[in-house]
Chain A
Amino acid sequence: MATQKLTPKEQVQEAILYPIDWLEERSGLVGGIKYFLFRRVPGDINWFQTLGSATLTAFIVQALTGSILAMYYKPDPQNAYSSIQHITNDVFAGWLVRGMHRWGASVFIILMFMHMGRVFLFGAYKYPRELNWIIGVLLLTMGLAEGFTGYLLPWDQTAYWATVVGINLNGTAPFLGPFISQFLQGGTYIDDGTIARFYAIHMLMIPGAIIALIVLHLYLVIRLGVTSPPWSKEAAGTGSMLKPSRNGRRGLTRPGPRRKG
């Protein structure tokens, strides 16, 4: 076999590319990431359209800080409160992690509402993106459910009594109400059964559902594309985008080098 002589530079390139090619050949992952990164978005998208990824960032902060808190938190009525005190006062940077989780929840909820408001005002829920709006509304309710279940976990007075009333309010629902209350409480009263249940719902069930829904949400965003702002003179899908723009800058992104027309 006549092997071609490689220069040292080419050898280095070869060494770097080999594992990437290996991965690509077996998974197609590299091509997927390339597609994700270099897919085209309308040239006139603006800052309001960063709210979705900002919401994702807030969720990632919640997932990371929540995982760290789970290493120290003890979900039973005897130890829950003291473990929160331990996290806040003794664990290295525990106060920061807990504070970020506590306030990250509020930021996450605000961003979800703002993102939803943006999609509504841009009319971005219209054909063919109806399904993604529905997934988004489900994500919003899941986020609020995270807020409700997480509120009990510090097991202080506010947490306990807000949850007592919250569960009782669920119980007023016709037909299903009493069953929902029983399920949430893990019995007839709020006790160690309840806190374990809320903990499992808060850190396993709902986050699992949220992650699955986020994956679907992003899949649809990539498949269907991002909408142009409705006021844009060059909005994609109106035909006017084919006219050359007079000013150099359009929305967020500068015109790329590849311009026709």
Chain B
Amino acid sequence: MASERLIERKRVFHQYKEDVKERGKPFYPFAMLHDTIMSLVVVSVITGLAIVWKYTTPGDHHTIDPGWLGRLYDAPADPGTINFVPRPDWYFYFLFYLLRIFKWPETVVIGTVGLPTVLLIILLAIPFIDVRPERRLLRRPVAIVASILVVISMGVLTYKGATAKEALGSEIVGHVPSWAAKEGFTGNKQAIAGAKIFAVAGCLNCHTYLGDGGTNLGAPDLSAEGAKNKGIAFQIAHLKCPACVNSGSPMPSFAGLGDARLKQIAAFLEASKGPKK
């Protein structure tokens, strides 16, 4: 009976209070000593990381080159240059990688909002799901299995997010002639120029094209974008303001590239009818 369980757990807690009063140790100095030692370790580790960050930076320790722990700072933010890698801090990598599992546009909202919300609700609800008083680990098989699965999946997702392939514009621009040959737009000057901008402007950090690119954030493959025949005007409007044309799109605006270049990219996208067999 539930009420019996409630009475029993009250009794156990009362017993706990009695036991601690009878047999417990004062917080000071016993527990406090260990808390203090641990806190000193924490402060030392933080200070150590700061020192390593600074003093492994090459040159006179304030260049933009990365040391062991990465750059002191990147180049200044420039909304006009779009050659970027949208990378969050490492502890968001697991969320970041979830976005690659769910595909734009149908299911991406599961990765961006759905799954994190569900996980948060489960986390908050744990004390109400697991109401047994049992605390010994070996008698809590579900809790053991669940925690092992969570640690493994968080670890794998973080690792995958950390090692996710990034598109290097300077390398990919060399693939443009082969793209043109495969897609059959070798004669189309506008499309070739557009393909070069497409390769270096950061599009491939999120999108893929004939096997190049990072599939970041579950963005769609564009190898056969032209087959949809949406038209140059649509492509330009979309590049300028993706969310205006495609409601809820997380793609940033590329209006900073200027009309002439946007027209070339649009020509390239429309010329991409999919690889010829």
Pick the contact of A123 from B27, B35, B84, B134 — CB < 8 Å? B134
* Chain A residues in 8 Å Cβ range of B126: 120, 125, 133
In the complex, whether B130 has a CB less than 8 A from a CB of chain A is yes
Interface residues of B in 222-277 (CB under 8 A from A): 243, 248-252
Interface residues of B in 107-139 (CB under 8 A from A): 108-109, 112-113, 120, 123-124, 126-128, 130-137
* Interface of chain B: mostly helix, strand, loop or mixed: helix
Q: Contact string, B50-92, partner A, CB cutoff 8 A, digits 1/0?
A: 1101100000011000000100111111110100111111111
In the complex, whether B153 has a CB less than 8 A from a CB of chain A is no
Query: In the complex the two chains form, what is the Cα distance from A253 to B188 in whole Å?
Result: 79
Q: B50 touching A127 by the CB < 8 A rule?
A: no
User: Chain A interface: which of B36-44, B165-173, B175-183, B190-198?
Assistant: B36-44
Q: A84 touching B137 by the CB < 8 A rule?
A: no
In the complex, whether B12 has a CB less than 8 A from a CB of chain A is yes
- Nearest Cβ on chain A to B9's Cβ, whole angstroms: 5
* Chain B residues in 8 Å Cβ range of A209: none
A84-B73, A103-B53, A168-B249 given; A144·B15 CB < 8 A = no
In the complex, whether A19 has a CB less than 8 A from a CB of chain B is no
Query: In the complex the two chains form, what is the Cα distance from A120 to B76 in whole Å?
Result: 42
Q: Contact string, A218-261, partner B, CB cutoff 8 A, digits 1/0?
A: 00000001110011001111110110000000001111100110
Q: A41 touching B135 by the CB < 8 A rule?
A: no
* Chain B residues in 8 Å Cβ range of A255: 25
* Chain A residues in 8 Å Cβ range of B137: 121, 123, 230-231
Interface residues of A in 83-119 (CB under 8 A from B): 84-85, 88-89, 95-96, 98-100, 102-107, 109-111, 117
Q: B27 touching A38 by the CB < 8 A rule?
A: yes
* Chain A residues in 8 Å Cβ range of B136: 123, 230-231
Q: B130 touching A85 by the CB < 8 A rule?
A: no
In the complex, whether A158 has a CB less than 8 A from a CB of chain B is yes
Q: A102 touching B87 by the CB < 8 A rule?
A: no
In the complex, whether A67 has a CB less than 8 A from a CB of chain B is no
* Chain B residues in 8 Å Cβ range of A50: 31, 34-35, 37-38
Query: In the complex the two chains form, what is the Cα distance from A170 to B12 in whole Å?
Result: 45
Q: Contact string, A21-39, partner B, CB cutoff 8 A, digits 1/0?
A: 0000000000000001111
* Chain A residues in 8 Å Cβ range of B147: 117, 120-121
In the complex, whether A166 has a CB less than 8 A from a CB of chain B is yes
Pick the contact of A45 from B31, B79, B90, B140 — CB < 8 Å? B31
Pick the contact of B75 from A41, A148, A157, A165 — CB < 8 Å? A157
* Chain A residues in 8 Å Cβ range of B134: 123
Interface size class of B (residues with CB under 8 A): 35 or more
Query: In the complex the two chains form, what is the Cα distance from A223 to B20 in whole Å?
Result: 13
Q: A103 touching B46 by the CB < 8 A rule?
A: yes
Kindly report which residue of chain A lies nearest to residue B147, judged by CB atoms.
A120
In the complex, whether A11 has a CB less than 8 A from a CB of chain B is no
Pick the contact of A37 from B26, B47, B89, B128 — CB < 8 Å? B26
A123-B134, A169-B99, A172-B112 given; A161·B19 CB < 8 A = no
Q: A242 touching B113 by the CB < 8 A rule?
A: no
Pick the contact of A225 from B16, B30, B78 — CB < 8 Å? B16
Query: In the complex the two chains form, what is the Cα distance from A61 to B40 in whole Å?
Result: 11
- Nearest Cβ on chain B to A150's Cβ, whole angstroms: 9
Query: In the complex the two chains form, what is the Cα distance from A147 to B20 in whole Å?
Result: 38
- Nearest Cβ on chain B to A217's Cβ, whole angstroms: 15
Q: B140 touching A123 by the CB < 8 A rule?
A: yes
Q: B243 touching A171 by the CB < 8 A rule?
A: yes
Q: B19 touching A42 by the CB < 8 A rule?
A: yes
* Chain B residues in 8 Å Cβ range of A39: 26-27
Q: A241 touching B27 by the CB < 8 A rule?
A: no
Which interface residue of A106, A128, A177, A253 has the most chain B CB atoms within 10 A? A253
- Nearest Cβ on chain B to A50's Cβ, whole angstroms: 4
Q: B62 touching A172 by the CB < 8 A rule?
A: no
Pick the contact of A99 from B53, B127, B132 — CB < 8 Å? B53
Query: In the complex the two chains form, what is the Cα distance from A113 to B81 in whole Å?
Result: 37
* Chain B residues in 8 Å Cβ range of A38: 26-28
* Chain B residues in 8 Å Cβ range of A230: 135-137
Interface residues of A in 1-60 (CB under 8 A from B): 36-43, 45, 47, 49-51, 53-54, 56-58
Please give me the 10 A-B residue pairs with the lowest Cβ-Cβ distance, nearest first. Answer: A99-B50, A237-B16, A40-B24, A123-B135, A168-B250, A160-B77, A130-B127, A156-B74, A103-B49, A253-B30
